[in-house]
């Protein structure tokens, strides 16, 4: 006859081996033949860890099993083991969920490692905090196939007409430039999708999971939830490898070759204030790929004071949230590219801010692997990431002042009654000086603008080379897009039509002070005519509006003025703006209303914005 305590111990051990699925167990007593129910705390869960060798260990001591979906049932505080239901010591120390012995950090070159090892059972664990585990489950995938899944599996790329319609809401005119940019962006989406390996593309089409599970997180980290604790098995590594490209004799024997689409970089050239930078800023808001706007005036050759050429890709990497795969599919806008034109006649060995920058940009435009400093690090430390620029689309823009003079000399034409000097020098400074010398105030501004636009339509690569760009740089920008100057009708539309027009901005400023601003159509045409004479494009409109509205903006706040009217006479300086005042009030009412206005001013500002 067996002892009752032996049966109780056998039952307890069997239950502990299977895992306690409920919070009540039966304990047998020696003195009484009945049984006594003992309630345990619901958090006490005991389960076997023999199925997997890799677990997550949280910083608070709790461990998370990654081999089963029931990993939420973790060992509480890292100290309640499978053999006992009580609590141990060392709440702040990590303990092995399999054997219960303390875990030690793995010694590496990095002082703060997140990997720990059990000295007794030789198992490795990943230490995750609560924030890391939440980020890990919802983090963005970092493989090239997953990055493309974000762009194509969720929604198709926008067609060129849709991009053109969006640009039309913010930029007036420049229809040819908007068509070129819309088509270029659409082809960029298609090129990214086409240049993915076939195996990765099939994986993208099959996978439809919204988020990553802990098992997938382990596989991304190189740790297998089954088998070897130090990493994935050789079979799993072989299954995860992308298809290899054909090399050597295989290329000679193959009959079918996939077409790899190459990029066509763009250069925009036009007068100042014609909307080149505004096109890029508007385009950046409607794209699903990273977009970086970089200024070429601060770039210098490697080793000199100023920004290195790699900073262009660093800005793109920052816009991609430091995801290299997403940054390799982005678009870079190089603004003021004409300022890096070479200036001949400078007696020095190197033109570090001009021709040297162009030479450094050559491989960047064509496609190479660039070493970019990591986040929060400097280049001198050697902490860099490699970014491939093969699929990055580059869009350059510049004013190129005097380029029309070079085209006119090439075509042997007279320029508005003035003969082209035969001793005209080369380079961007000589072209700008010739343009300034031959532009006369007596000449009609409209005729001069039409002549410039007509000449810019015939621009060729040799004209850019004579301006100061080296031939290798011009050859890597095959699409040349001239932007036309803004005429009077276009400037009038810019004042009122776009989403962020100039006149509605000032009307919103006046509405915060409970005042209306009314500008007549004749006044708008007079303002556009003045901006045309200043030859600064659309930027001249704001300068004129500021000068006209200085006196009204000084008089309106805390006054009885309810409306301000501008007409043609005011713009020409022949009269003052017309004020419409509210009917007079008593002193007590005026004092009461002024106090209410001071309190409700933030509400009025919000209402004006809406």
For 43-72, the pLDDT digits (tens) are 444 444 333 344 444 444 444 444 444 443
pLDDT for position 135: 46
Strand partners of residue 65: 55
Mean pLDDT is lowest, of 228-242, 287-301, 348-362, 383-397, for 228-242
Could you give the CA distance from residue 592 to residue 595 in angstroms, rounded to a whole number?
Answer: 5
Banded model confidence at residue 23, pLDDT cuts 50, 70, 90: very low
Q: Can you tell me the mean pLDDT for 529-547?
A: 92
If we measure between CA atoms, which residue out of 328, 356, 330 comes closest to residue 342?
356
3-state secondary structure at position 115: strand
Residue 102 pairs with which residues in a beta bridge?
95
Instruction: Of 187-201, 203-217, 340-354, 397-411, give the lowest mean pLDDT range.
Output: 203-217
Helix, strand, or coil here: 449? helix
- Angle subtended at Cα 196 by Cα 190 and Cα 199, rounded to the nearest 5 degrees: 135
pLDDT at 505 over 60: yes
pLDDT band at 602 (very low <50, low <70, confident <90, very high): low
Side-chain-side CA neighbours of 17 within 13 Å: the count stands at 6
- Mean pLDDT computed over 325-346: 89
Residue range 319-338: mean pLDDT, rounded: 93
What is the distance of C-alpha 100 from the center of its chain?
Answer: 47
The region of weakest confidence among 249-253, 407-411, 448-452, 575-579 is 249-253
Pick the more confident residue, 516 or 130: 516
User: Tokens 């300034």 sit at which residue?
Assistant: 436
pLDDT value, residue 26:
45
Provide the pLDDT confidence category of residue 458 given band limits of 50, 70 and 90: very high
Band of the pLDDT at 554, cuts 50, 70, 90?
very high
Of residues 600 and 96, the one with the higher pLDDT is 96
Q: How many CA atoms lie within 13 A of 36 on its CB side?
A: 8
Q: What is the pLDDT of residue 20?
A: 46
Q: Give yes or no for residue 222 having a pLDDT over 50.
A: no
Please report the pLDDT score of residue 281 as a whole number: 92
3-state helix, strand, coil in the chain (%, to 5): 45, 15, 45
**Residue range 385-428, pLDDT digits in tens:** 999 999 999 999 999 999 998 999 888 755 555 544 555 566 77
422 phi and psi, to 5 degrees? Answer: -75, -20
Longest dimension (CA), the chain: 127
Question: Residue 375: is its pLDDT beyond 60?
Answer: yes
Average pLDDT of the chain is 75
- Could you read off the pLDDT of 223-266 as tens digits, one per residue? 444 444 433 333 444 344 455 666 677 778 777 777 889 999 99
Average pLDDT of the residues in 193-211: 57
Average pLDDT over residues 25-42: 45
pLDDT at residue 488 greater than cutoff 90: yes
Instruction: Kindly calculate the radius of gyration of the chain based on its CA atoms and give it in whole angstroms.
Output: 36
Q: pTM here?
A: 0.67
Which residue is listed with tokens 């949280």? 58
CA distances from 96 to 49, 67, 267, 331 (A): 10, 16, 61, 48
Residues 306-316 have pLDDT tens digits of: 899 999 999 99
Encoded tokens for 122: 């030789």
The helices-and-strands tally (H runs, E runs) of the chain is 25, 17
The 10s digit of each residue's pLDDT in 76-131 is 343 333 333 333 344 456 778 778 788 877 766 555 556 778 888 877 777 765 54
Q: Which carries the bigger pLDDT value, residue 1 or residue 3?
A: 3
Strands 561-566 and 578-581: antiparallel
What's the rounded mean pLDDT across residues 518-531? 95
**Tokens at 538, concatenated:** 């659309």
Q: Tell me what the mean pLDDT of segment 435-449 comes to.
A: 72
20-24, 274-278, 456-460, 546-550: range with lowest mean pLDDT = 20-24
For residue 600, what pLDDT band results from cuts at 50, 70 and 90? low
Report whether 327 contacts 290 (CB < 8 A): yes
Query: What is residue 331's predicted lDDT score, i.e. its pLDDT?
Result: 95
**How far apart, in whole angstroms, are the C-alpha atoms of residue 534 and residue 448?**
13
Parallel, antiparallel or unpaired: strands 103-105 and 331-335: unpaired
pLDDT of residue 121: 83
Do 126 and 115 contact (CB within 8 A), yes or no?
Answer: yes
3-state secondary structure 31-100: CCCCEEEEECCCCCCCCCCCCCCCEEEECCCCEEECCCCCCCCCCHHHCCCCCCCCCCCCCCCCECCCCC
- Six-digit token string for 421: 């000097």
DSSP structural state of residue 307: B
Residue 170's pLDDT is 94
Mean pLDDT of 171-180: 95
């Amino acid at each position: 006859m067996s002892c009752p305590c032996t049966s109780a111990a056998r039952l307890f051990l069997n239950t502990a081996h299977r895992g306690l699925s409920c919070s009540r167990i039966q304990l047998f007593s020696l003195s009484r033949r009945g049984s006594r129910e003992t309630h345990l705390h619901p958090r006490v869960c005991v389960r076997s860890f023999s199925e997997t060798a890799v677990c997550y260990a949280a910083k608070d001591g709790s461990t998370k099993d990654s081999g089963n979906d029931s990993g939420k049932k973790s060992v509480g505080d890292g100290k309640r083991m499978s053999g006992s239901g009580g609590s141990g010591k060392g709440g702040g120390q990590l303990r092995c969920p399999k054997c219960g012995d303390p875990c030690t950090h793995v010694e590496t070159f990095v002082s703060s490692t997140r990997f720990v090892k059990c000295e007794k059972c030789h198992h490795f664990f990943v230490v995750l905090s609560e924030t890391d585990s939440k980020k890990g489950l919802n983090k963005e995938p970092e493989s090239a196939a997953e990055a493309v899944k974000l762009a194509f599996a969720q929604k198709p790329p926008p067609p060129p007409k849709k991009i053109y319609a969006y640009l039309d809401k913010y930029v007036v005119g420049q229809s040819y430039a908007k068509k070129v940019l819309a088509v270029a962006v659409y082809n960029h989406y298609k090129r990214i999708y086409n240049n993915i390996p076939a195996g990765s593309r099939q994986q993208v089409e099959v996978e439809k999971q919204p988020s990553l599970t802990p098992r997938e997180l382990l596989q991304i980290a190189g740790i297998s939830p089954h088998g070897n604790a130090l990493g994935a098995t050789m079979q799993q590594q072989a299954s995860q490898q992308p298809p290899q490209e054909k090399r050597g004799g295989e290329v000679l024997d193959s009959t079918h070759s996939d077409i790899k689409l190459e990029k066509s970089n763009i250069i925009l050239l036009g007068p100042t204030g014609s909307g080149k930078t505004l096109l890029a800023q508007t385009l950046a808001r409607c794209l699903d790929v990273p977009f970086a706007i970089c200024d070429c005036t601060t770039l210098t050759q490697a080793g000199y004071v100023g920004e290195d050429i790699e900073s262009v890709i660093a800005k793109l990497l920052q816009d991609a949230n430091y995801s290299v795969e997403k940054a390799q599919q982005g678009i870079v806008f190089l603004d003021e590219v004409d300022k890096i034109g070479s200036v001949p006649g400078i007696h020095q060995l190197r033109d570090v801010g001009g021709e040297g920058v162009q030479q450094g940009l050559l491989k960047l435009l064509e496609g190479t692997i660039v070493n970019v400093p990591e986040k929060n690090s400097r280049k001198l430390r050697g902490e860099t990431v490699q970014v491939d620029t093969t699929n990055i689309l580059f869009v350059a823009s510049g004013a190129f002042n005097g380029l029309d003079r070079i085209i006119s000399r090439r075509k042997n034409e007279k320029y508005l009654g003035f003969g082209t000097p035969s001793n005209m020098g080369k380079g961007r400074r000589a072209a700008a000086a010739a343009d300034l010398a031959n532009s006369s105030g007596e000449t009609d501004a409209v005729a001069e603008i039409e002549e410039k636009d007509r000449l810019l339509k015939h621009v060729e690569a040799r004209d850019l080379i004579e301006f100061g760009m080296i031939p290798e740089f011009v050859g890597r920008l095959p699409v040349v897009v001239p932007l036309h100057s803004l005429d009077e009708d276009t400037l009038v539309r810019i004042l009122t039509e776009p989403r962020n027009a100039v006149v509605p901005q000032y009307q919103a400023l006046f509405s915060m002070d409970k005042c209306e601003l009314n500008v007549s159509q004749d006044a708008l045409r007079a303002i556009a005519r003045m901006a045309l004479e200043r030859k600064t494009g659309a930027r001249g409109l704001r300068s004129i509006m500021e000068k006209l509205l200085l006196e009204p903006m000084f008089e309106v706040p805390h006054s009885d003025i309810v409306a301000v009217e501008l007409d043609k006479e005011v713009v020409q300086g022949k009269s003052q703006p017309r004020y419409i005042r509210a009917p007079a009030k008593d002193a007590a009412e005026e004092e009461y209303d002024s106090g209410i206005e001071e309190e409700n001013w933030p509400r009025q500002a919000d209402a004006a914005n809406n």
